[in-house]
Amino acid sequence: MKEVENHDQTIRIRLRKIISILMYLNRVPKIARSFFPPGIWEMDYDQTKPSIYITFDDGPHTVATPFVLKELKKFNAKGTFFCLGKNVETEPLLYNQILNEGHAVGNHTYDHPRLKDVSAEAYIQNVEKAKEWVNSNLFRPPYGRLSRKVGNKLIEQGFDIVYWSILSADFDTKLDPKDCLEKLIFDVKPGDIVVFHDSEKAFPRLEYVLPRFLNFVHKQGWTAEALAYKKNEE
C-alpha cells in the first residue's frame, strides 16, 4: 500500500513539474489549461478590430507603475493591473491613478503567497484580505498556480480567474531585454492575454520592452484593451 502511495506521489510531483514548465513557456500550450480550475486564458476578438489584452502583475510600484501608465497613455492603450493588496495599501494614489486613467484592476492576493507553502484556508484569506484594497471580481493566481479546491472556492465567491496566453518573461533576470522583445513579438497574436510585471525585478526589461511592444501593436493596427471587470459589492 505504502509503495502504491509513494508511486502516486511521485507521479503527482512529476506532473506538477511538467505543468509548471508548460506554464513558463512563452505561449502556454492548450493542454496545460485542462489541469487548472476554469478561467480565462485568452479573449475572442473581432477580425475587423483586432485587440490584445496587456496585464501587469505585482504592482503598484513607485517607479514601474507611473512608467507603465505614461507609456499606455502615449499609445492610447488600456491595460489590466493585477495588484497586490499590500502594495495598494502603501501606494493608494497610484491605484487611484490606474482607475482614473481608464484601466482595469484585478486581485493578485495580498502578499503573493506560494500555494504550496500555505493551507487552502490561509490562501483564500490572503485573497479576501486583498479584496479590502482591490475592488475587482478578477483574480490572477501568483506564479500561475492554483489547485481545484482553492480555485473552485474562489469561483464560488464570485471571482473570475484570469490566466494568460503569453508571458513576456520580463521577470527573468537572465534574459536580455532585446531577446525578451523579440520572443514576444514573434509569438503574439490578437486575443492574447500578455503578462508583464510592474515590479522592481522586472523593470530593467519592462522599460525596454513595453514601449517597443506598444509601438509594434500600434503598427499592426491592433488596439490594447483592458479586460472587463466588475466591482465587488460594497
Provide the binding-site residues for Zn ion, judged by CB under 5 A.
57-58, 142
Three cell numbers written together for 143:
506564479
Nearer to Zn ion, 13 or 63 (CB): 63
Residue 61 in contact with residue 84, Cβ under 8 Å? no
Least Å from the CB of residue 67 to Zn ion? 18
To 10 degrees, the CA torsion angle through 82, 84, 90, 94? 0
Rounded to a whole number of angstroms, the minimum distance from the CB of residue 112 to Zn ion is 6
Return d(Cα 80, Cα 101) in angstroms, integer.
11
Choose between 188 and 195: whose C-beta lies nearer to Zn ion: 195
In the bound state with Zn ion, the residue whose beta carbon lies nearer, of 189 and 201, is 201
Nearest-approach distance from CB 158 to Zn ion, in angstroms: 21
User: Which one-letter amino acid corresponds to residue 230?
Assistant: K
CB 125 to Zn ion: min, Å: 18
**What residues contact residue 113 under an 8 Å CB cut-off, 6+ apart?**
122, 123, 126, 142
Catalytic positions, please? 57, 197
Smaller CB separation from Zn ion, 79 or 142: 142
CA distance 79 to 104: 6
Largest CA distance in the chain: 63
